[in-house]
Amino acid sequence: MDGIEAYPSILSPPSLAVVIEQRGSPDEVARVIELPPVEIKENEVCVKMLASPIQPSDINMAQGVYPIEIPFPAVGGREGVGEVYAFGSAVKGLSLGDWVIPLPPSLGTWQTYVVKKESAWHKINKNVPMDLAAVVSVNPLTALLLLDDFAKLNSGDTIVQNGSTSNVGQCIIQLAKLRGVRSINIIRDRAGSDDAKERLEKLGADKVYTESQLQVKDIKSLLGPLPEPALGFNCVSGNSATLVLNLLRQGGTMVTYGGMSKKHVTVSTSAFVFKDLTLRGFWLKKMMIPERIQDTKVLVDYLLSLMQEGKLKYKSDLVPFDKFPTALDKALGKLGSHPKQILKF
C-alpha cells in the first residue's frame, strides 16, 4: 500500500524444546528437539527462557488426565521465567532484558526461546531469585488464595492442613505465619518424618503431626491452647482428609485442592448436619480468567516481593536443561522423593 512500509519480519532463534508428541507417560512421549525459528509478529514477544519447573499438572496433561487438553504435539511446561529477547513493532510495555513470566500460565515453557503475544507475559522484578520467580504463579499463588478466599482469618486464628510437606503446604505455613495465623500440619508416616517435622517447624509450623499421631480418641486435646481451626486444606483426600475434618471447629470449612492419595473424601452425615461443616474445592484456573487476571497479577507481585525479601522460601533443584530426562524421572517419583525440579536453560 502506498505510503506504508512493511516492517521487516523478525525471527526467533531456533529453540531447543521438550516436545510432547502424543498422549502418554511423559518419559515415553517427550522428546528434546530443535525447533526452527518462527516469525515474531508485531504484537509478539520472544523470550529467552531462564527457568521452568516440571509440575504435576504438566505430567497429568501429557497423560491426558487433566481437564486442560494439550493439542499434541506440543512443547511442554506452563510456568517459568525468562528474559525479553526480541519483540514486534507494536509491543510497548516491555524492553529487551526485562524479566517476564507467562501469566496466566500457558503451554510451551520447556524450551530455550518462546514466542507469545505481549499480553501473555507479565513483567516482574529482576531482583527475585530465578528459581523462585519460575514457580511463583502456581504453588505460592494457590497457597495465598486458599488462605484468603474461603474464610476471614485474623491473627491468632488457626488453620489445619494435610500434605504439609508439599510445595503448596510449605507456602501455606509461611504465609500463615506472616499473618499471625497458626498452622496445624499433618504429614505422612514414613521414614524421615522427624526431619520433615523439623523442616516445617523451621518454616513456621506451629504443630506437625503424622497421620498415625492423630489416630487418638480426643483429637482436639492435641490442640492445647490453640483455638480450634475454622479452615482446613486438603490435598491428599482419603483418611488424611478425615483427620482435617475431625480437627475443624463447629461450622468450619475444608477446601480440597488436590488428592494425592487418589482416594475419595468421606464425610459422615452428622459432620454436615450437627457439626455444620462446609466442604469446598479450589482450582487455580478460576483466577486466570480475563475478568480476574489483573487481580491475580497483583497477588503474584505481592508473592514476588515476599520472595525477594526472603520471607517466602520454596525448595527446588535447578537442573541444567540437558539433564531433562533425569529431572523428569525425579518429577515422576521414579527416583524417590526430590524437591521440585526446575529446568535451567
Instruction: Tell me which residues touch its own copies (CB under 8 A).
Output: 67, 237, 255-259, 264-283, 286
Give residue 262's region: left, alpha or beta (phi > 0; psi -120 to 50). left
If the CB atoms of residues 111 and 162 are measured against its own copies, the closer one turns out to be 162
Q: Which is nearer to its own copies, 13 or 259 (CB)?
A: 259
Give whole-number Cα distances, 69 to 58, 59, 65, 74, in Å. 11, 12, 9, 11
- Mapped onto helix, strand or coil, the DSSP state of residue 99 is strand
Catalytic residue among 66, 85, 113, 209: 66
Using alpha carbons, select from 73, 48, 70 the residue that is nearest to residue 59. Answer: 70
Cis omega (within 30 of 0) for bond into 73: yes
Peptide bond into 71 cis (omega under 30): no
Q: Which of 159, 180, 158 is nearest to 233 (CA)?
A: 159
DSSP 314: -
Any catalytic annotation for residue 66?
A: yes
Q: Which residues of 245-261 are buried (b: 16+ CB within 10 A; e: fewer)?
A: bebbbeebbbbbbbbbb
Of 6 and 273, which CB lies nearer to its own copies in the complex structure? 273
* One-letter amino acid for residue 79 of the chain: E
Measured in degrees and rounded to the nearest 5, phi and psi for residue 105 equal -50, 135
Residue 265, CB half-sphere, CA atoms under 13 Å: how many?
A: 25
Q: Which is nearer to its own copies, 87 or 282 (CB)?
A: 282
Nearer to its own copies, 57 or 308 (CB): 57
Closest approach, Cβ 6 to its own copies, in A, equals 46
Of 83, 130, 129, 80, whose CA–CA distance to 104 is shortest? 80
For its own copies, the closer of residues 67 and 336 by Cβ is 67
CA-closest candidate to residue 122, choices 138, 140, 143, 100: 100
Positions marked active-site: 66
